[in-house]
Every structure is written in structure tokens, then in C-alpha cells.
Amino acid sequence: MMPEPLNNLERLCIHSITTKPWTIEEATINYSSKGVHGITVWRDALTGRNIRQTGEMLRRHGLKTVSLCRGGFFPSAEPAKRKQAVDDNRRAIEEAFELGTNLIVLVCGADPAQPLDDSRKQIQDGILSVLPDAEAAGVRLAIEPLHPMYADTRSAINTLAQANDLAELINSPWAGVAVDVYHLWWDPNLEKEIIRSGNNGTLLAFHVCDWKSPTMDMLNDRGLMGEGCIPIRKIRSWVEAAGFKGFIEVEIFSDRYWKQDQSVFLQDIITRYKQYV
């Protein structure tokens, strides 16, 4: 059964990268003034800021920081780079703690110079390495499966089944999964795997946007909700049937939208959130 449309913005979260031309301060003021309740902060938006004060600014404007984006990128054929990645994830955990969010999204990484199986093993090792830090900081790590078109360099975890397998193997309250409709909409096992993550208590995040036909760029041509072919509301029904009641995060990378007036774009996001999510 399809859920009702969302008639208020209580569960709407926007990723700072969605309105990339805005600074975090501009995004804060604009999201807040439109009644948006949540923000996921991309780390680049924090450059040169005092992170603790930025977290306070967000809270002062009524914005909950849903997650910090992003940790991960663990695999490399070079051991020194794997060490750097672990260090960087420890920094991300500190940043999340200072910002005042209890969730980090992991884009797990992949290195085309080595077999996918090796990258997958290194992802597991990397997460296990930083898990004590995550626990100490009270920050959960969400394994986000990425679309298979990113299997070469961005993530060797490409289906929710893989993410669930990995989360079950890690078997910690500090590790779970993130569901992004853009990456997973095509998967015939999606509903089943969403229910599985719900049953495991590991469904930590839900990201939305749309898949345009045609898609002109593999990275930065995501669509606004309703602009493409993803059955967003149907997938929301699965996520909610799995017990997820958290924020619904709008994450759009789009050269086209980044060129527009971001205030107009923000209004479009809100309109389409109510209409298509």
C-alpha cells in the first residue's frame, strides 16, 4: 500500500552538496527559513570553519544534522593509502562528534588496480579498524551501496544485499546501511533487502533524488524527485514497512541545478518532496 504524501517538512533533510553554490551558512539560513528540519553536511562545506560552532549554528536555526557525508574510501592497492584512509575516517568521526551528529555515511571506495574481492575485504578491514572510535564518539557508520557504475573507483559495495552481508558480518550497533534510491532502484531484490536491514535494526538512512532518461553524466546529472523513473514513493513504502521513521534526505548532484538560482531550486525541492516522495 502506498503511503500518504508528506504534507509537512518535519522529515525533510537536504544534503549541503545539493545546494553546492551556497556556503554552509547560506544553506542554514535558507533551509531554515523554508521550514526544512534536517541537513546532512558534506565535509567540504566545513573547510575553514570551527566545526563545533558550525554545529551550534545549525541547531540555533532549528536544523538537525542528520549525518556527516562522507567517510569510507578504504581500499587501495597501496598499504600507505589504506593507512591514510583509516586516519581520515578517524578524523571524520571526530568531525561528526564535534558537529553533533551521530551518523556518518560511508562511500566505501574501490581501487581499479586490484580485484573487487580485495577492495571488499579492505572495506571490511577499514570499518573494523575505526569501529572502536565510532563507538567511543557515539557515531554510527552507514554503509551506502553505490550504483554498479561506480564499482571501479567509488565503491565495491554495489547492492543492498552486499551492504547487509557486510553489516551482519561486522555485527555491531555502530554499523548499518544507507538506502539511496538512485543507486538501488533497479535491483529486483531491493524490497527484500530493505526488509532485511529493517529486521536487523541496521537501516540508518534514506536518500532520494531521481534517475533521468537520458542521464547525461555519470556523476552530476541526478534529477529532482518526479523528474525520472524511480518509484520513490513505492521505495519509501518499503523503507517505512521496515520500520524506518527517520529523515528523508534529498541528495542531488547536478551541474544543471547548481547553475540555477538556488532559492528557486530549494523551492522546487520542497514542492517535489511533497508531490513525489
Where on the chain is the footprint of a second copy (CB under 8 A)?
112-113, 115-116, 120, 147-149, 151-153, 158-159, 162, 185-188, 211, 213-215, 218, 228-229, 231, 234
Q: To the nearest whole angstrom, how small is the minimum distance from the Cβ of residue 15 to a second copy?
A: 22
Q: Which residue number, 265 or 276, has a Cβ lying nearer to a second copy?
A: 276
Q: Which residue number, 115 or 138, has a Cβ lying nearer to a second copy?
A: 115
Q: To the nearest whole angstrom, how small is the minimum distance from the Cβ of residue 92 to a second copy?
A: 24
Q: To the nearest whole angstrom, how small is the minimum distance from the Cβ of residue 28 to a second copy?
A: 34
Who's near 94: CB < 8 A, 6+ residues apart? 137
Q: To the nearest whole angstrom, how small is the minimum distance from the Cβ of residue 152 to a second copy?
A: 4
Q: Which residue number, 9 or 116, has a Cβ lying nearer to a second copy?
A: 116
Q: To the nearest whole angstrom, how small is the minimum distance from the Cβ of residue 35 to a second copy?
A: 32
Q: To the nearest whole angstrom, how small is the minimum distance from the Cβ of residue 146 to a second copy?
A: 10
Task: Please check whether residue 96 is in contact with residue 103, taking contact to mean a CB–CB distance below 8 angstroms.
Answer: yes
Instruction: Encode the chain in three state secondary structure.
Output: CCCCCCCCCCCEEEEHHHHCCCCHHHHHHHHHHCCCCEEEEEHHHHCCCCHHHHHHHHHHCCCEEEEEEEEECCCCCCHHHHHHHHHHHHHHHHHHHHHCCCEEEEECECCCCCCHHHHHHHHHHHHHHHHHHHHHHCCEEEECCCCHHHCCCCECCCCHHHHHHHHHHHCCCCEEEEEEHHHHCCCCCHHHHHHHHHHHCCEEEEEECECCCCCCCCCCECECCCCCCCCHHHHHHHHHHCCCCCCEEECCCEHHHHCCCHHHHHHHHHHHHHHHC
Q: Which residue number, 120 or 140, has a Cβ lying nearer to a second copy?
A: 120
Q: Which residue number, 1 or 218, has a Cβ lying nearer to a second copy?
A: 218
With both helix axes pointing from N to C terminus, report the angle between 232-241 and 190-200 in degrees, rounded to the nearest 10: 30
Q: To the nearest whole angstrom, how small is the minimum distance from the Cβ of residue 199 to a second copy?
A: 21
Q: Which residue number, 128 or 219, has a Cβ lying nearer to a second copy?
A: 219
**60 prior amide bond cis, ω within 30:** no
| Residues in a beta bridge with 15 | 40
Q: Which residue number, 149 or 169, has a Cβ lying nearer to a second copy?
A: 149
